[in-house]
Amino acid sequence: MNKFISCENAAAMVRNNMTVMVGGFLGHGAPEKIIDALVASGVKDLTLIINDSAFPDKGCGKLVANGQVKKLIVSHIGTNPSSGQRMSSGEMEVEFCPQGSLAERVRCGGSGLGGVLTSVGIGTVIEEGRQLVNVDGKDYLLEKPLRADVALIKASTGDDMGNLIYKGTMQNFNPLMAMAADTVIAEIDEIKPAGALNTESIHTPYIFVDYIVNP
């Protein structure tokens, strides 16, 4: 099966009101070419599940700054003034989740688990609206799993089947998100023929990847 598509075709798979996971850490490891195509497409009312909203001119921050996002599920927005402004004005809803809990929620979504129990956030605003579970006399928050309609991920190296390798902080969310969406589109910097990658170095096996974009 040929998985290769253009950035424009990738963007066309993201429609209004969809929930979209996007990899990256302060923009590093974000699929910039696909994001640019999304900005150009004008798709709107997206719910983004991301670690952070990056910067107004980088990563998912471009979608926020362009008014295409109705909700963020995120651990941090401080580097993008547009996020704070839109949240304060009521134009965009923001659900904050501690970074580790956010990663675990995505992992649970990709692994078919019912959620994760954590003490992080107890006694803070994070606790609001969440279910408390008592285990052996200690309270925990139930953090429910997260899944998305589409995951847009970025790999440094991959092959033409969709096996992926990530470098550095690209590993923080991209591998988890590749498991937790109905459709997974990978933007790959360097593509090698099938069989060229060291099997033990592969972070995301091809079975998780539906489409490949080579910018």
Note the pLDDT tens digit of each residue in 19-28. 999 998 887 8
Percent of the chain beyond pLDDT 90? 87
Half-sphere exposure of 59 (CA within 13 A, CB side): 27
pLDDT of residue 128: 86
Question: Residue 83 to residues 24, 147, 159, 192: CA-CA distances in angstroms?
Answer: 17, 22, 36, 38
Residues facing 181 on adjacent strands: 148
Beta strands 131-135 and 116-118, pairing class: unpaired
Residue-by-residue DSSP string for 109-141: HHHT---EEE-TTTTSGGGTTPEEEEETTEEEE
Residue among 156, 189, 193 at smallest CA distance from 175: 156
> 42-82, pLDDT tens digit by residue?
999 999 999 999 999 999 999 999 999 999 999 999 899 99
pLDDT above 90 (res 214): no
Query: Residue ranges per domain, the chain?
Result: 7-97+146-213
pLDDT band at 215 (very low <50, low <70, confident <90, very high): low
How confident is the prediction for the chain on average, in pLDDT? 94
Q: What is the pLDDT at residue 1?
A: 73
Longest Cα pair distance anywhere in the chain, in angstroms? 55
Decide if pLDDT at 148 tops 70: yes
Half-sphere exposure of 14 (CA within 13 A, CB side): 33
84-141 pLDDT, tens digit per residue, is 999 999 999 999 999 999 999 999 999 999 999 999 989 888 888 889 999 999 999 9
Higher-confidence residue of 214 and 157: namely 157
The CATH homologous superfamily of the domain defined by 7-97+146-213: Glutaconate Coenzyme A-transferase (3.40.1080.10)
How confident is the model at residue 144, as a pLDDT?
96
